[in-house]
Amino acid sequence: MDPRVAEEVPMHTVVTRPELPVRPGRRERRAARRRLRRVDALSAQLAQLLALRTLLEDAVEIVRRGWIQGAWFAVDLGDRTRAVSAPEIGLTRDREVTGACLVGAVVQAGGGPEAVRSQPVQRALDLVWHSLREDAGQRVRWCPGPPVRMIHVLDLTHWNDAPERTRGDVVELLRSTVATADAQRERCRSERAALAGSLHLAPREPRFVPR
């Protein structure tokens, strides 16, 4: 054989497909959307708890200035102070409020009697009741429903009006409620951080598909 002629060597060409990123499946995408919605809800709750903390601190100052039993508010009539209950609540619109009970202080801090049914006032009362009757580290039961919430408000009123109650007791309860709000904020932060970390979905193992 002529050495100048190169020997033919059989060659095999191996063609590989480029690796494509593996998209998460439908179930993973739904789970991720649920986590995103929960992260958004926790962020909103954190902002609300911060606002409730400020409201409760204002309620502490109201009780320090003047605390009463047997009525919601005390108003200044010029020559005397008058206790105000529900039938005379209109007196608080154009008279200086000089004192309040526990519930009245929260209502006044949230904007006065006109704001009694607002979400900040109602949720602040939820926090106060939780601080009084439940463990501070437990999750607060928000929006328990009108009948249950009314029972909670009556419970707070009876607690305020107990003969042995003092202004110091009420201030201490409101302070502990501020601590409860802080504990709930920490709970929200921890849950949000865990969810945010899990939003980076790990790719699924590719399946072997025979040719």
- Give the per-residue pLDDT at 210: 46
Note the pLDDT of residue 28: 72
Predicted confidence at residue 206, as pLDDT, reads 39
CA 189 vs. chain centroid, Å, equals: 10
Answer yes or no: are the C-beta atoms of 128 and 156 closer than 8 Å: yes
Res 35 pLDDT > 80: no
Residue of 125, 147, 136, 130 lying closest to 185 (CA atoms):
136
Q: How far apart are CA 81 and CA 92, in angstroms?
A: 12
Tell me which of 63-72, 113-122, 192-201 is least confident. Answer: 192-201
Q: Judging by DSSP bridges, how do beta strands 81-84 and 97-100 pair with one another?
A: unpaired
For residues 64 and 170, is the Cβ–Cβ distance under 8 A? no
| 201/32 Cα distance (integer angstroms) | 8
Choice among 9-23, 58-72, 118-132, 187-201 with the minimum mean pLDDT: 9-23
Cβ(194)–Cβ(51) below 8 Å: no
- Pairing assessment for the beta strands 73-76 and 81-84 based on DSSP bridges: antiparallel
Q: What angle do CA 65, 70, 74 make, to 5 degrees?
A: 40
22-36, 55-69, 78-92, 193-207: segment of lowest average pLDDT: 193-207
Helix 119-133 with 102-109: angle, nearest 10 deg: 150
**Would you state the pLDDT for residue 34?**
75
Closest among 2, 17, 42 to 185, alpha carbons compared = 42
User: Which tens digits make up the pLDDT trace of 52-62?
Assistant: 999 999 999 99
Least confident of 36-50, 85-99, 105-119, 133-147: 36-50
pTM of the complete model: 0.74
Cα separation of 121 and 145, whole Å?
14
Give percent of the chain above pLDDT 90: 49
pLDDT per position as a tens digit, 66-91: 999 999 999 998 889 999 988 888 88
Task: Say yes or no to pLDDT of 203 above 60.
Answer: no
Domain boundary assignment for the chain = 26-63+101-197
Q: Give the Cα-Cα-Cα angle 186, 39, 43 (nearest 5 degrees).
A: 55
